[in-house]
Amino acid sequence: MEQASAGRPGLLETFWLLTALRAAVRTAESVRARRQVLPLRQRLKREVDRLRQLLDRLHLALLYTDVVGDQTFDAALLRRLDLLLTAREVAEGWRTLHQELLSWYPNVSPALVEAVRRACRRFDRLDAETPVVRWQATLQFGNRVLRAVRRALRQAS
C-alpha cells in the first residue's frame, strides 16, 4: 500500500484500516442478526438500543471535537472520518428502523414513521463541510425521534 504523502506516512493506511474494521464489524453484526429470527417487537427494541448507542457515540465525538480538539492535523482528519462513518451507521440504523416500523404500521402512527424517515435523511445529509451546529441540531432531532419511538413501543406492550 502506498503512503498518503511524504509528510504523512501511514495516514492512508490508518484510514483504510478504520473503514475496513468498521465494515467487518457491521457485516458480522448483520450476519448474526439475520441468523436470529426474532419477533418484530424484539427487533424494534434491538434497533432502538443500537441507535441509542450510536447517537451517544456521535454525541461524545462531537463534544470531544468541540471541547478538546485535536493536537495534530492527522488526528483531526481521522476524527472527521470517524464522525462521518458514525453518521453513516446512524443513517443506516434509521433506515432499518423505518423498515421495521413500516412492518408494524397499523400499530404505529404514520407521523412517527415519517419522523424516522426524516431522521434518516438528515443523517444522510451530514458531510465534512456541515457546520458543527447542524450536526448538533441533527443529533437533537434524532434523540427526540428515538424517544418517541421508545414511547410508542412501551404503549404497544
pLDDT in tens, 43-55: 889 899 999 999 9
- Which residues have a Cβ under 8 Å from the Cβ of 81 and sit 6 or more positions away? 15, 18, 19
Instruction: Convert the pLDDT of each residue in 115-126 to its tens digit.
Output: 999 999 999 998
What letter does residue 36 receive in the DSSP assignment? S
Amino acid residing at 121: R
Of 145, 146, 149, 142, the closest CA to residue 62 belongs to 142
pLDDT, position 2: 43
Is residue 156 a contact partner of residue 41, using CB atoms and an 8 Å limit? yes
- Determine the 3-state secondary structure of 130 from DSSP: coil
Confidence (pTM): 0.76
pLDDT < 70 positions in the chain: 1-9, 11-12, 33, 66-70, 157
pLDDT, position 147: 95
